[in-house]
Structure 1
């Protein structure tokens, strides 16, 4: 299903359709403030395994991140962070950043990496934040199963043509981007830039 949603005023009925799909173990493709993402409810194990199959990755080696509505979920899924790190997160989010933090016990075992970390995202995108808020759970998120993001993957209709059969809903929230989030590792003494993306590392450190 290709579901058109207004970026500024998401239709409540459409959001409800998406939430029901996610709670039922569905997999969606949806807009963020960077590229279109592939996601599911983090509590739905079969959906997580399905995404790993779509991506053709081993769950233990996969780099999935959690899409949160705001930082209120932080203490649920990440171990307590010190004040400078929290300040940096507050400055950067919502925005095009992924922060790698030590995972708490609430992170589903399926999603724990060998290093016991979790990637946290709060995109500056009204549609995906509304979905997460209404779901009342973070979304597990990853990139589309493509080698390279090119211009055509900014168009939800082309995304639907290519991947519509593999997922339950493609959320059309208008054109997406082709730049990724900036990844910052906050598990050591100092924040370390892992990948330079859309967000400026210098602006938040």
Structure 2
């Protein structure tokens, strides 16, 4: 099997982005999303972000002007966008918004090939430093991943978040 097939079958994975290492799964797989929440000890109602397979996918599912997408994506940004259907991916974000990324890295091509959104969440625990190399990842998380993709040391800054066109401080 290849990686995309593993993801479609529910694999949980650790992967590099253009910023830090992330923890992910197929965002359309409710069981895998629940496992990610369990691994990260996330509140069931706390929204998670996704890596979109394409800008066209974002335009199909979110309320956004194409020039905004062209300005920020791909890149180290998370755009909080209103969903066209508030129930869409409700197990990822139960409110009417969705955090969208298209990182500027090779991994985005894998998401595009899969043609489904992937969960993207930092691979550290709350309050811990972000993982910029595989050895930074807590063993409690590393041991639960089905697949680990490492590419060395990353930039180390989390994505910049924009809500309604305004940058949000972390």
**Which whole-Å deviations, capped at 9, do the CAs of 1:135-176 have from their partners, x for residues lacking one?**
1111111111322225xx322255385633111111112222
Aligned length: 168
**For 2:135 and 2:2, how far apart are their aligned partners in 1?**
19
**Residues 70 and 195 of structure 1: CA distance in aligned 2, closer, same or farther (over 3 Å):** farther
**What's the offset of the Cα at 1:89?**
2.2
Pair 1:164 & 2:160 matched: no
**What's the offset of the Cα at 1:108?**
1.6
**Which whole-Å deviations, capped at 9, do the CAs of 1:15-58 have from their partners, x for residues lacking one?**
x6221211111110100000111111011110000000001011
For structure 2, the residue ranges without an aligned partner over 5 or more in a row are none
**For 1:133 and 1:50, how far apart are their aligned partners in 2?**
23
Pair 1:192 & 2:166 matched: yes
Cα pair 1:54 1:145 within 8 Å, conserved: no
**Residues 95 and 165 of structure 1: CA distance in aligned 2, closer, same or farther (over 3 Å):** same
Pair 1:53 & 2:38 matched: yes
Equivalent position of 2:25 in the other structure: 40
SS of the counterpart of 2:37? Answer: helix
Cα pair 2:124 2:137 within 8 Å, conserved: no
- CA RMSD, 1 decimal: 2.0
Pair 1:18 & 2:9 matched: no
**For 1:24 and 1:69, how far apart are their aligned partners in 2?**
17
**Residues 130 and 26 of structure 1: CA distance in aligned 2, closer, same or farther (over 3 Å):** same
Equivalent position of 2:67 in the other structure: 87
Alignment of 1:121-200 (within 5 A): 121-126=101-106, 128-146=107-125, 147-149=127-129, 153-159=131-137, 163-186=141-164, 191-195=165-169
Pair 1:118 & 2:98 matched: yes
SS of the counterpart of 1:180? Answer: coil
TM-score, with structure 2 as normaliser: 0.88
**For 1:183 and 1:44, how far apart are their aligned partners in 2?**
25
**More helix by percentage:** 1
SS of the counterpart of 1:75? Answer: helix
**For 1:137 and 1:166, how far apart are their aligned partners in 2?**
22
